[in-house]
Amino acid sequence: MGQDCSSCTARGEEVSKACLPGAPPEEHEIGGSNVLSNTYFDQDLKELQSLPAGDRQVVEERPLYRFRSGNSYAGEWLGNERHGLGVQRWLDGAVYHGSWRHNCAHGLGRFVHTDGDTYSGEWQKNVAHGVGNYVHYAKGQVTRYFGQWHQDLQHGYGIERWDEGSCFEGEFRGGQKNGVGIYRWADGSSYAGSWRRNNIHGPGHYLGHDRREFRGLWKNSMIHGCGIYTWPDGRSYQGQYDRDQKAGFGIFSWPDQRRYEGYWQNGKQHGEGRYHHTDGSTLLALWEHGRCLENLDHLEEHAERAKPRDEGEG
């Protein structure tokens, strides 16, 4: 053939980490020290412990109390402990409004950070734990998470949304997307499948807004392993990938019945492969970086003719 057959990948290249439509918005850490620092609730403990214990059998509401640090608390007490419903205000502007248990945020409550971030939901011993809603502000962007928490980290099922329209719904582990989930981009593209440590990883299905589609294996947000990629114009590739590039054995088909079956490297035909023409004829050839180097069918014909004939043949 002699022509450059790399044109099979010239239009509509496969989706990659770099070209995922509007690649996932920058991951902002939600959880841990970003929810709150335990030191907020610990700041005034020594002063609280120095107060008269009083009656530790009855929860009572008392007037606003100002700590030596400049922080303040208004609400219910049990002896010298914040206990019941109350509002704690810190000198830097942070505020917690909710339920207390023996000086710890415990139950339902809302914490407002000095930068405007908020967490509203369930607490256990001063950390977000249970179900809650977190709103995070950074670089002019707003990220919202609603779902399950464990020890101040997103953990379990949750929904994360970005202002520009993207959304993730699925499993979290230790503050990261991990497990099974669906990511939807603002342009209508989507990915449904496995995640590991905030990366697309494992089996999954990508559907582009332009109807490009891939079903198969991923690694670190790149196509890696076996899969099927299809284009809206009827082209398709079924085979192996290595870091977003066709590599190994694969079959590329065109809507006009042309087909290449063979080996690939770096996204192009490389090695032995057979090209099927529209008229039904085929060519077995050796390829290099998408170009046909040698017609192997001719070599087979020559080899057949060069075989020694049996003595019985005339």
Q: What is the pLDDT of residues 5-56, one digit of tens each?
A: 333 332 334 443 333 444 454 555 565 444 555 579 999 999 999 999 887 8
Average pLDDT of the chain to the nearest whole number: 87
pTM above 0.85, yes or no: no
Separation of CA 180 from chain center: 10
Class for domain 28-150, per CATH?
mainly beta
- Which pair of tokens denotes residue 312? 């019985």
271-301: pLDDT as tens digits: 999 999 999 999 999 999 999 999 988 655 5
Question: 212-251 burial string, b = 16+ CB within 10 Å, else e?
Answer: bbbbbbbbebbbbebbebbbeeebebbbbbbebbbbebbb
Separation of CA 228 from chain center: 21
Check residue 198 and give its pLDDT: 96
219-268: pLDDT as tens digits: 999 999 999 999 999 999 999 999 999 999 999 999 999 999 999 999 99
Check residue 29 and give its pLDDT: 55
**Phi, psi torsion values for 233, nearest 5 degrees:** -85, 5
CA–CA separation, 81 vs 59, rounded Å?
Answer: 10
| Cβ contacts of 119 within 8 Å, gap of 6 or more | 35, 36, 110, 111, 128, 132, 133, 134, 135
- Helix (H) or strand (E) holding 277, with range, is none
84-93: pLDDT as tens digits: 999 999 999 9
Once rounded to an integer, what is the mean pLDDT over residues 75-91? 97
Which pLDDT band, with edges at 50, 70 and 90, does 308 fall under? very low
Share of the chain above pLDDT 90, in %: 79
- Which pair of tokens denotes residue 35? 């929810």
Check residue 44 and give its pLDDT: 95
124-146: pLDDT as tens digits: 999 999 999 999 999 889 999 99
Check residue 300 and give its pLDDT: 52
CA–CA separation, 72 vs 82, rounded Å?
Answer: 11
Check residue 313 and give its pLDDT: 41
